[in-house]
Chains A and B, each alone.
Chain A
Amino acid sequence: MNALLQAIAIGVPQGALYGLMGFGIALIFRSAGTLNFSHGYSAMVSVLITLSTIQWFLGMGWLEGHAALFAAIPVGLISGAVFGVLIDILLMRRVKHVSPASMLMITLGLLLVFEGAANLIWSPDYESFPRILPGAPFVFQGAGVLGEVRVIFRRNDLAVMLIALVISLSMAGLMKYTKIGLAIRARGQDPIGAQAVGINTNRVDSIVWAIAITLAVVVGILVAPITRVHPTMLMNTQLLGITAAVLGGFSSLFGAIWGGLIIGVLERVVDIFPALDGYETAIIFFLIILVLVFKPEGIFAPRQGRKA
């Protein structure tokens, strides 16, 4: 029982990050029309930019300790938004009308470009990255109806969960109550109809790319203290983010977040059983196969209406 609680305490924050990653991937998939295989890699470059900015601030002696981190984060986030807009304007806009497959190929190419650039400009070495909330972990200890309980909760995970929650809620608000959210939904559901009501679909696509990559940078910054910073630091997170999006059903954006939470917890629960050690990923992908076979629209997809 204690092991299960511990698995949840570590799995939920981890899963929230998969969920945010999946949310951005599903957003691009639904509105801009491609599966972005370079999602985590562009964010990785932004994390490297963030790290270099921190080191620069520290090196110049302008800022110390945590102030440098918080000053560098906006730089990283903006670089993510810029990557998103550039990918859309320079590459996607030109092939959008050709075929979805060519967009997919470009994202695969970008994955290699970003990874190569990271190796060339920075280095393949693992570098450490500061936590948002440093300090000793919380220990919850006591005896209750469940028996003797001792759960450890990493302090930084508190920041992870709060940030993930705030972002999820503000994204939900953005999509539901703002004009840009309406434009994003309209463009995803019917691009021709969207243009007919006066929506500049090219601009919507750029905004979608900017939002999605910026979210991935947030994930990268939060996950960096654990994975450390290196060119493939977000490979696993991206893979499980795509998985979260599939699990949640690409047609429901917030399904991706629930999907991420499920994967995060499952990963840790599997860890409890020594016999299953090393099979975490296999079990998760087996789950995906089951979902694709029995409920291909995703476990959180809204019920389909009657066809007219």
Chain B
Amino acid sequence: MLEVANVGVRFGGLVAVDDFSMTVEQGSIHALIGPNGAGKTTLFNSITRIGPRTSGKVYFKGEDITRLPDHRMIHAGIARTFQNLQLFARMTVYENLYAGYAFHFKRPLLSIFAGSHRAFEEEVRKRIANVAARTGIRSALFSTPQNLPYGMQKRVEIARAIISEPEMLLLDEPAAGLTYHETEELDRVIYDLSRKNGITILLVEHDMNMVMKISDRISVMSFGRKISEGSPREVAGDPEVIRVYLGGEESA
């Protein structure tokens, strides 16, 4: 589904990501993990074009998307969420979700006057109700994001990302800043998206519990390189992974 081929990111002399390759299989939940400073977020941002990329290519469904402009990603079928949330703070949750669908809809941007597009409005309303139920944010639809608990805001952002039915969803540290209970709720939402809706998911995550529980496949990064890849069980048993996470003989 998504293929990262020999991606490298350098900041001057510092090599943040070194010749990294991985393939995310269709329909899977793929996690990218690694200790602090391993370059996960740098790699993730270079895939999504928020950050720089020095070399390498990214393919989506066999097509080179390396030079696709940022705002075209969603049109190609790739949605994303952000570590620090990028919601529209002065709009209601309803309007946030509306925005998530409206611009994916292929019609000229200028000519849309809502009154003359009842059918479209009706369709969006149904989609919003549906997606709000799936992510458990129904009660929050008419609040502004800043008045919601953090866990709820995270789910609003996921709802906004999936309302246009993307084929792929990129999640940047979805569990960061959440309580144990909120993380459990989020687990279920993400798992359902993959199993019930068939969305391919790539996530960068710190929370090992979550990663081990929901991932089909895990890539482990350390100092910009891929050091291990496999099922949660394989990765958890890899001595190299244990070494970088818990500290090996040299560093102990």
Contact = CB atoms under 8 A, between A and B. Distances in A.
Contact of B113 (A177, A201, A305): A177
Most chain A beta-carbon contacts within 10 A, residue among B71, B75, B110, B112: B71
Contacts of A177: 113-115
Interface in A36-58: none
A182 B110 contact: no
Contacts of B90: 185, 189, 302
A308 B149 contact: yes
Contacts of B209: none
Interface residues of B, number: 42
Contact of B103 (A178, A198, A302, A308): A198
A134 to B, nearest CB: 35
Interface in B133-171: 144-150, 153, 160-161, 164
9 contacts: A178-B114, A183-B109, A189-B91, A195-B70, A195-B71, A196-B73, A196-B86, A197-B104, A198-B71
B160 A197 contact: yes
Contacts of A201: 71
A198 B74 contact: yes
Interface of A: 177-180, 182-183, 185-186, 189-190, 192-201, 203, 207, 302, 305-308
Contact of A185 (B88, B110, B113, B147): B88
A302 to B, nearest CB: 8
A307 B145 CA distance: 10
Nearest to A200: B71
Contacts of A195: 70-71
A196 B79 contact: yes
B252 interface: no
A169 to B, nearest CB: 14
A305 B114 CA distance: 28
A88 B98 CA distance: 28
Nearest to B86: A193
B80 interface: yes
Nearest to B117: A179
Contacts of B72: 198
A308 B154 CA distance: 12
Contact of B102 (A182, A193, A207): A182
A199 B103 contact: yes
A178 B69 CA distance: 24
Contacts of A186: 88, 91, 99
Nearest to A174: B113
B112 A196 contact: no
Contacts of A192: 50, 82, 86
Nearest to A179: B112
Contacts of A306: 146-147
A117 B248 CA distance: 71
B95 interface: yes
B87 interface: yes
Contact of A197 (B69, B74, B145): B74
B100 interface: yes
B113 A178 contact: yes
Given A180-B109, A182-B95, A198 B75 contact: yes
Given A201-B71, A307-B146, A190 B102 contact: no
Most chain B beta-carbon contacts within 10 A, residue among A177, A178, A201: A178
A186 B103 CA distance: 11
B88 A189 contact: yes
B153 A308 contact: yes
